[in-house]
């Protein structure tokens, strides 16, 4: 999907108020979260490279958190969305 912010997907399909935007930056894919319930989130958080997300995901695994960054930041979906632009 695409809007004025760019390409996005719904990281939590049951919640259409949250969008994950993706864009290429050099050789990397970067992600940025947006929420209709927290519009300031867009301004407060920057684009994150996938490598940084993977590093943080390791911390979540060690803490046995219920949040799975790999679900929200889905590299396969991001690649497919960006491929549509090529």
pLDDT at 29: 98
Q: How far is CA 33 from the centre of its chain?
A: 5
Q: What is d(CA 4, CA 62) in angstroms, rounded to the nearest whole number?
A: 37
For residue 70, what pLDDT is reported?
77
Q: Quick check: 10 pLDDT over 70?
A: yes
The position carrying tokens 């399909």 is 13
pLDDT score, position 23: 97
Reported pTM: 0.88
Using alpha carbons, select from 83, 81, 61, 84 the residue that is nearest to residue 19: 81
Sign of dihedral through CA atoms 39, 69, 56, 77?
negative
Q: pLDDT, tens digit, for every residue of 26-75?
A: 999 999 999 999 999 999 999 999 999 988 777 766 666 666 777 889 99
């Amino acid at each position: 999907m695409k809007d004025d912010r760019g390409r996005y997907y719904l990281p939590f399909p049951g919640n259409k108020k949250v969008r994950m935007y993706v864009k290429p930056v050099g050789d990397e894919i970067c992600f940025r979260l947006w929420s209709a319930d927290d519009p300031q989130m867009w301004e407060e958080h920057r684009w994150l490279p996938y490598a940084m997300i993977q590093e943080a995901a390791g911390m979540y695994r060690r803490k046995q958190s219920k949040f799975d960054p790999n679900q929200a930041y889905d590299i396969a979906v991001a690649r497919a969305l960006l491929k549509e632009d090529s």
